[in-house]
Amino acid sequence: MTEGKKSLTGRTWHLPNAETERTGLAIAQRHGLPEIVGRVLAARNVGIDDAPHYLAPTLREMMPDPSSLIDMDVAADRLARAVRDGEKIAVFGDYDVDGGSSVALLQRWLNAMGLRAGVHIPDRIDEGYGPNDAAMSALAKDHSLIICVDCGTLSHGPIAAAIAGGADVIVADHHIAGETLPDCTAIVNPNRHDDDSGLPQLCAAGVVFLLLAATNRALRPDFPGGKEPDLRQWLDLVALATVADVAPLQGLNRAFVRQGLSVMRQRRNVGIAALADVARMDAAPTAFHLGFLLGPRVNAGGRIGEADMGARLLACDEPEEAAGLAAMLDQYNSDRREIEAQVQLAAIEQVEARGIEGGLVWAAGEGWHPGVVGIVASRLKERFNRPAIVIGFADGEGKGSGRSVTGVDLGRTIQAAVREGLLLKGGGHKLAAGLTIDEDKLAEAMAWIDAALCKQGADSIGPRSLTLDGALSPRGATLDLCGLLEQAGPFGAGSPAPRFVFPDVRIERAREVGDGHLSMTISDGGRLDCIAFRAFQSELGPAIMENRDRRLDVVGRLQIDEWQGRKKPKLFLEDARIPLD
């Protein structure tokens, strides 16, 4: 099959190179694996001798010394003292999945210590992201220790307000730090400029997990109640946060998710189990379920509902209460999709009218709900393969969110725009950022950010190419093969699911279903069902419908589809092209 030919969406496909083929074969022969699994491992830079550990990662082997993070020992000692002395502890968290999971993780650990934490999660509209003076001052009146999770690294003023009110403050965060840090007891953040732990890929829940591991160590041997809590029982929270926050599934993160999925399958967390039920998950959870079914529902409360609802669900132990919260989040998620669709349509029209020749695509609108701008920015980034920013304005002030592509650091660019006086505030990490802006600064700020991203090469990025792991036939896409491929998972950011081309296949029963999805079957000796999500919101759906009467090469990722107890392979379709004559 020839490389280089453009697909129906204008992309090129790349097959494994000769070195990957050789290494994959060597991995398969050395460890008794099918050649296709060896090739998948080689394409993900797994060495020949490293394959067994990669296929069965253990937290024991991957777990770093928590003390490798700057300020960790100080933070752990202060938290341990608060537990021993029975102090009143408050947790200030973010309203997304990572923030809610981090809050719930701390709550569950403190409950095991016999303590109940005060919790504050800010309202997205009324308070915005991160600590604010009023909330931190209020917490300081009733608590001697405040722990900020998934936020706080840039919150100089609010943290100073809490300290002035008599509370100590610990920050457990992962967002990119500024040149100076707030003056508080400890800031544990692998993305501090002076941190050399080598763990920048962690989400906040991963940082909190390491903080609790360090605090367990600091409390030994005299634990309140006499028993040390086993942190592994809460790895389902860390896994959910890691996947939903699109943290790279490599190294420690991969071990977190692999073992967290095992915990989740036991349905120990009543809240997660209730959410899985309303999401109609009738299969064992995978990273896909965390990212596309559970994560969006946890997020829905913070986006358009009650900010603390996701955290409340994840910390809940009462089945009836959990069922009620999960049902409300499911409804909020449905409402969110409707709002998102309206904003997305208007945003695409703006971008296409403005053009995509620069390094940034952006859109802004009066009254656009701040709870959906991040999702719409992600959709724009996927559609145009450019960093994207979407902003909703109200009363002259805009709340915006941005998403970036690999190799372009949006978080630092947003921070630089704040220093230039173009944004009121902003921050984040390489691939995602948030901002607040005065309406009269909009054009100037977007032009400045565009120019800054062009310096990183964002304007020279062409249509996203697709890297393939090999070729298969519909008959060869079996349940056994899907099971073998799962051994190389979990897959997600930084470790993409295997992608295969099915050359020269016939298209059957192609039709639009749901909210712009494409459903079809491919055949060539055998038959394989396919789904392409949001295909009719891009060029792919219309292009396949136009060419459905001819044979096509199609590309996608195999999954096991389970419905009413029946399992079958299914292809998550990503692209197609007309075969060469």
Q: What CATH code is carried by the domain that includes residue 400?
A: 3.10.310.30
Distance in angstroms (rounded) separating the CA atoms of residues 248 and 493? 5
Q: Is the same domain home to 252 and 390?
A: no
Q: Is residue 345 part of a domain?
A: no
- Per-residue pLDDT averaged across 203-226, rounded? 93
Q: Is the same domain home to 526 and 501?
A: yes
Q: Is the same domain home to 23 and 12?
A: no
pLDDT at residue 553 greater than cutoff 60: yes
Q: Is residue 362 part of a domain?
A: yes
Q: Is residue 580 part of a domain?
A: yes
pTM of this structure: 0.88
Please tell me the total count of domains within the chain: 4
For the segment 38-81, what is each residue's pLDDT rounded down to a tens digit?
Answer: 999 999 989 999 998 888 888 988 999 999 999 999 999 999 99
**Residue-wise DSSP of 51-72:** HHHHHS--HHHHPPPGGGSTTH
Q: Is the same domain home to 194 and 278?
A: yes
Q: What CATH code is carried by the domain that includes residue 574?
A: 2.40.50.140
Residues in the chain: 581
**Residue-wise DSSP of 337-400:** HHHHHHHHHHHHHHHHHH-S-SS-EEEEEET--TTTHHHHHHHHHHHHSS-EEEEEEETTEEEE
Structural domain of 376: 355-460
Q: Is residue 52 part of a domain?
A: no
Q: Is the same domain home to 369 and 248?
A: no
Q: Is residue 491 part of a domain?
A: yes
Q: Is the same domain home to 33 and 5?
A: no
Residue 323 token pair: 């069922």
Q: Is the same domain home to 514 and 456?
A: no
Instruction: Check residues 158 and 484 and name the one with the higher pLDDT.
Output: 158
Q: Is the same domain home to 177 and 217?
A: yes
Q: Is the same domain home to 293 and 403?
A: no
Q: What CATH code is carried by the domain that includes residue 148?
A: 3.90.1640.30
From residue 462, alpha-carbon distances to 16, 165, 386 in Å are: 21, 53, 9
Phi–psi pair at 172, nearest 5 degrees: -125, 100
Q: Is residue 50 part of a domain?
A: no
Q: Is residue 185 part of a domain?
A: yes
Indicate if the alpha-carbon torsion angle 193, 199, 203, 207 is positive or negative. negative
How many other C-beta atoms lie within 10 A of the C-beta of residue 386? 25
pLDDT at 576: 95
Q: Is the same domain home to 486 and 420?
A: no
For the segment 7-28, what is each residue's pLDDT rounded down to a tens digit?
Answer: 898 888 998 889 999 999 999 9
Q: Is the same domain home to 445 and 500?
A: no
Which of 403, 437, 460 finishes a domain?
Answer: 460
Q: Is the same domain home to 448 and 475?
A: no
Which of 281, 310, 328 finishes a domain?
Answer: 328
Q: Is residue 373 part of a domain?
A: yes
